[in-house]
Structure 1
Amino acid sequence: MVYPEPWCMPRLFTAGIAAFYEGYYANKGVKIIKGTVAVGFTSNSNGEVKEVQLKDGRVLEADIVVVGVGGRPLTTLFKGQVEEEKGGIKTDAFFKTSVANVYAVGDVATFPLKLYNEIRRVEHVDHARKSAEQAVKAIKGSEEGKAVDVYDYLPYFYSRSFDLSWQFYGDNVGDTVLFGDNDPASAKPKFGSYWIKDGKIVGAFLEGGSPDENKAIAKVARVQPPVSDLDALTKEGLSFASKI
């Protein structure tokens, strides 16, 4: 695995969280190369890839290459026709655009995120599904003359690989604490992090949680309970969430 950042998934993971997954993958025989990118490929006469050339000069033997380059919302079709903001199509809390009877949902929508009182664009399948549901409710409500609650979304991300499964809720800003067993060699690792901003927990991450434990960290991220002692929070760990 080759990636340019100092650790894996730095947009979400702290260095402490990333260290677990990097160690876990290494124990599975995966070699990780950080701080560089692929700049070229060597192929044989059949067009089959044989080598990957890295920016730092290294050359890796390869039989197959999987490239993840990300993506951007494709809004060029609507340029000059709908209002845009923060790289997406601006909508209200019902996903109506600036054009009557036109709605935008999912990754392309920039919408008011009630929980944080700001305009955001969210790239995730969970939001894509729920924003589409909200738009349909709004359309049906309009047709039937019924009021619909504004979209009140709690940011949510998750992943599953090997026998691992993590979930994250809320916002990953501010100070962080790491709790639990994050030893990559553990038989059943279970650990997590809280993000604390302005004296309140605004985000929560958990690896290896049960359904009830994942619900508990989701509730913490939404309720945003106050905390004053980060050391005490580290010691309490998951039990703090279970009390909210």
Structure 2
Amino acid sequence: KVPRLFTAGIASFYEGYYANKGINIVKGTVASGFSTNSNGEVTEVKLKDGRTLEADIVIVGVGGRPIISLFKGQVEEEKGGLKTDAFFKTSVPDVYAIGDVATFPMKLYNDMRRVEHVDHARKSAEQAVKAIKAAEEGNSIPEYDYLPYFYSRAFDLSWQFYGDNVGETVMFGDNDPKSPKPKFGSYWIKEGKVVGAFVEGGTPEENQAIAKVARAQPSVESLDVLAKEGLSFATKI
């Protein structure tokens, strides 16, 4: 999610911040293999461009795809997941799918989506259990109405993102990696409306404010006005 979410402006802050911590980010190539010693312990990482990096430990973060092959030809699929309704019911009676294997109707965007995040995993599980319980009792519950949410915490940094990262972007705030307390953010604007919001270093109230903005999708006069107002645009919604 991070490469798709981070704009060039956001990425340059984190690259600068990590570089100031002594972390060397190698770009423009990928790992192609490893060298090991006689004990089978890794000693080097081989890069595709021919370089090698000495290594004591290697952490591989390559993402993953949900394994749905188990249900091939038995349950309806869509967009790489098991297709469900707004209660996480699949095409097979009494079979529910939750978390990142589920492709569900995202009410906010009138679109079928699959979301890979712990927040959605928990909330979709809750929705499915409530739906099953309600069905047993002959009752109904509201449809799932999820607002996409992603976050990360590292060192003394903490960012949150809500909504959809589509359209044009506007940056605001202090994104100098050398700042003692950097606080900056970005809005995503589609068809004159704010559809997504990101903030680094936000207070709990400011994080709630950008969540509110992403759900309300308010109209904006211009990108310049939005850049100037920054977080105050969100806090007054």
Using the size of structure 2 for normalisation, the TM-score is 0.99
Structure 1 vs Structure 2 CA RMSD: 0.9
Matches within 5 A, 1:153-164: 153-164=146-157
2:57 equivalent to 1:43? no
Overall identity of the aligned pairs, in %:
80
Q: What's the counterpart of residue 4 of structure 1?
A: none
**5+ residue gaps, structure 2:** none
Q: Quick one: distance in 1 between partners of 2:28 and 2:87?
A: 42
Q: Tell me what 2:14 maps to.
A: 21
Equivalent of residue 183 in structure 1, options 157, 169, 176: 176
CA deviations 1:24-47 (Å, max 9, x no partner) are 100110000112111011111111
Match of 1:30 in 2: 23
What whole-Å deviation, never above 9, does each CA across 1:189-210 have from its counterpart, x for those lacking one? 0000000000000000000001
Q: Equivalents in 2 of 1:38, 1:231: separation in Å? A: 41
Equivalent residue pairs, number: 237
1:81 has 2:80 as partner = no
TM-score by length of 1: 0.96
Partner of 1:123: 116
Supply the distance in 2 between the matched residues of 1:146 and 1:185 (Cα, whole angstroms).
Answer: 56
Distance 2:42 2:169 in 1: 42
CA contact (8 A) 1:86 1:120 kept: yes
| 2:104 alignment counterpart | 111
2 CA distance for matches of 1:10 and 1:64? Answer: 24
Judge conservation of contact 1:115–1:154 (CA < 8 Å) in 2.
yes
The CA distance in 1 between the partners of 2:41 and 2:126, in whole Å, is 44
Cα distance between partner residues in 1 of 2:49 and 2:225: 43
User: Which residue does 1:100 correspond to in 2?
Assistant: 93
Which residue number corresponds to residue 232 of structure 1? 225
Alpha-carbon distance between aligned partners in 2 of 1:28 and 1:213, rounded to the nearest angstrom: 27
**1:94-133 per-position Cα deviation (integer Å, ceiling 9, x unaligned):** 0000000010000000000000001010000000000000
Extract unaligned runs of 5+ from structure 1. Answer: 1-7
Structure 1 equivalent of residue 65 of structure 2:
72
